[in-house]
């Protein structure tokens, strides 16, 4: 039975020899080319030879850098492995460098850095994720040397074991990809203080195990997806400080295990659903609502059933009507903020009897 010869991993010297061979091949092509194309081809050859000479020099410098493993190379858009930028030398060389097989053989030779591979050619992105990231349960990027990040879509199928994804204040750009719904093992998805734009993808409702979702302080737009009601294990949900994120609150009324809900400084509108009275595990509720021209937004008496509440912030929520006496049942409440609304009537005496209340803001417009 014939056996396939084993493929030896090419060394950096092999790559250099490959470039030298490529120079010979180009010269041979020039002599064999058709006569009618000689003039235009001669110009192309001259340009290519000049480019190759420059790249040969750059390659020698890169080989010297890579041969010194003790030297730290800061990844940036101008310092990516030269091999990626040499793909344009010829069609054959480009196809070789861009192939999955070549990427797999040479992956270890290149820079071992997550940020660098975010901008690598697609074969390197996906194979890097399969080899280096697929076993991970937690990813936390907090210091990226000031380089803007994006999550390559080609990584996501390899991250199915991921339980925790945290990218906090690291300049994360672009949109949240639909493929985020593939990460069905996720329990924590924290992407606050970045530059995310576009809508929240409905596929986020596939993350049934999610306990904490923080998309605050971004530039998200569009409508809050109804699919969020599928996050039945969610404990903490933070969407605040996304000025152009629209929607109603009804998608949250089924999240029975939720303990913290923050949707202020967005473009959500009232009313506050009476069903919120069934969110009995809530300890922190912060809403900031725009006026709904179709219906008044009041403080529903059912909020008095949230006896675990420690902090209730309904400031700047276009509230009308009176403060319900039922809020006097919030025995664990420490902070109440109802300022900047259009509330009327007397402050219920029951609020003054709350045993743990330390801060109360009732200033009206």
What is the rounded distance in angstroms from the CA atom of residue 24 to the CA atom of residue 152? 37
Which tokens is 248 given?
């109603």
pLDDT value at position 75?
Answer: 43
pLDDT value at position 66?
Answer: 46
* Same-domain pairing of 240 and 263: yes
**First-to-last CA distance in the chain?**
88
Bond into 271 cis (ω within 30): yes
What is the rounded distance in angstroms from the CA atom of residue 163 to the CA atom of residue 210? 9
Element (H or E) spanning 10, and its range? none
**CATH number of the domain to which 155 belongs:** 3.80.10.10
Could you tell me the residue range of the domain that residue 298 belongs to?
114-361
* Same-domain pairing of 66 and 192: no
* Same-domain pairing of 49 and 198: no
* Same-domain pairing of 143 and 38: no
What is the rounded distance in angstroms from the CA atom of residue 272 to the CA atom of residue 250? 8
* Same-domain pairing of 107 and 251: no
Q: Is the dihedral of CA 332, 337, 343, 348 positive or negative?
A: positive
- Work out how many domains the chain is built from and give that number: 2
Looking at 113, 147, 182, the residue that finishes a domain is 113
* Same-domain pairing of 63 and 126: no
Sheet of strand 138-141, all strands in order from the earlier edge strand to the far edge: 138-141, 164-167, 188-190, 212-214, 236-238, 260-262, 284-286, 311-313, 335-337, 359-361
Element (H or E) spanning 117, and its range? helix 114-117
pLDDT value at position 69?
Answer: 47
Assigned domain for 3 exists: no
What is the rounded distance in angstroms from the CA atom of residue 171 to the CA atom of residue 146? 7
Per residue of the chain (365 residues), what is the pLDDT tens digit? 455 555 555 555 666 566 666 666 655 655 555 555 555 656 666 666 666 666 556 555 554 554 454 444 444 444 445 555 555 555 555 665 566 666 565 555 554 555 455 556 666 677 777 777 788 899 887 655 555 667 778 788 888 899 999 988 777 778 999 999 999 999 999 999 988 999 999 999 999 999 999 999 999 999 999 999 999 999 999 999 999 999 999 989 999 999 999 998 788 999 999 999 999 999 999 999 999 999 999 999 999 999 999 999 999 999 999 999 999 999 999 999 999 999 999 999 999 899 999 999 988 75
Which tokens is 323 given?
């403060």
On whether the CB atoms of residues 151 and 175 are closer than 8 A, the answer is no
* Same-domain pairing of 97 and 119: no
Q: Which residue has the tokens 């969610």?
A: 234
What is the rounded distance in angstroms from the CA atom of residue 219 to the CA atom of residue 196? 6
Residue 345 backbone dihedrals phi, psi, to 5 degrees: 90, -175
* Same-domain pairing of 97 and 144: no
Which tokens is 201 given?
């993808």
* Same-domain pairing of 104 and 173: no
Assigned domain for 186 exists: yes
* Same-domain pairing of 169 and 107: no
Assigned domain for 5 exists: no
* Same-domain pairing of 107 and 126: no
pLDDT value at position 111?
Answer: 47
pLDDT value at position 265?
Answer: 79
Please spell the DSSP secondary structure of 136-201, one letter per residue: -SEEEE---TT--B---GGGGGG-TT--EEEE-SS-B-SB--GGGGG-TT-SEEE--SS--EEPPP
* Same-domain pairing of 86 and 168: no
């Amino acid at each position: 039975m014939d056996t396939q010869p084993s493929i030896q991993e090419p060394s950096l010297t092999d790559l250099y020899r490959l470039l030298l061979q490529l120079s010979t091949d180009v010269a041979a092509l020039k002599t064999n080319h058709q006569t009618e194309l000689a003039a235009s081809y001669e110009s192309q050859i001259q340009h290519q030879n000049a480019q190759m000479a420059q790249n040969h020099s750059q390659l020698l410098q890169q080989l010297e850098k890579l041969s010194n493993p003790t030297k730290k190379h800061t990844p940036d858009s101008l310092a990516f492995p030269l091999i990626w930028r040499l793909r344009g030398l010829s069609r054959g060389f480009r196809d070789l460098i861009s192939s999955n097989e070549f990427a797999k053989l040479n992956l270890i030779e290149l820079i071992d850095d997550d940020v660098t591979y975010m901008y690598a050619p697609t074969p390197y992105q996906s194979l890097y994720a399969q080899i280096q990231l697929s076993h991970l349960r937690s990813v936390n990027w907090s210091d990226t040397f000031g380089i803007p990040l994006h999550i390559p879509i080609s990584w996501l199928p390899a991250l199915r074991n991921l339980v925790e994804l945290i990218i906090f204040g690291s300049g994360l750009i672009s949109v949240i990809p639909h493929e985020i719904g593939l990460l069905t093992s996720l329990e924590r998805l924290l992407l606050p203080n970045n530059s995310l734009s576009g809508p929240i993808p409905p596929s986020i409702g596939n993350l049934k195990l999610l306990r904490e979702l923080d998309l605050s302080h971004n530039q998200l737009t569009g409508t809050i997806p109804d699919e969020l009601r599928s996050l039945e294990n969610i404990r903490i949900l933070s969407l605040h400080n996304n000025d152009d994120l629209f929607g109603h609150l009804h998608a949250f009324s089924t999240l029975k295990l939720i303990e913290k809900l923050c949707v202020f400084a967005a473009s959500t509108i009232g009313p506050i659903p009476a069903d919120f009275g069934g969110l009995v595990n809530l300890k922190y509720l912060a809403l900031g609502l725009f006026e709904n021209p179709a219906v008044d937004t009041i403080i529903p008496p059912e909020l008095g059933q949230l006896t675990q509440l420690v902090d209730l912030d309904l400031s700047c929520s276009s509230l009308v009507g009176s403060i319900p006496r039922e809020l006097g049942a919030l025995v664990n409440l420490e902070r109440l903020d109802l300022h900047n609304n259009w509330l009327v009537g007397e402050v219920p005496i029951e609020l003054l009897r709350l045993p743990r209340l330390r801060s109360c803001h009732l200033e009206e417009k």
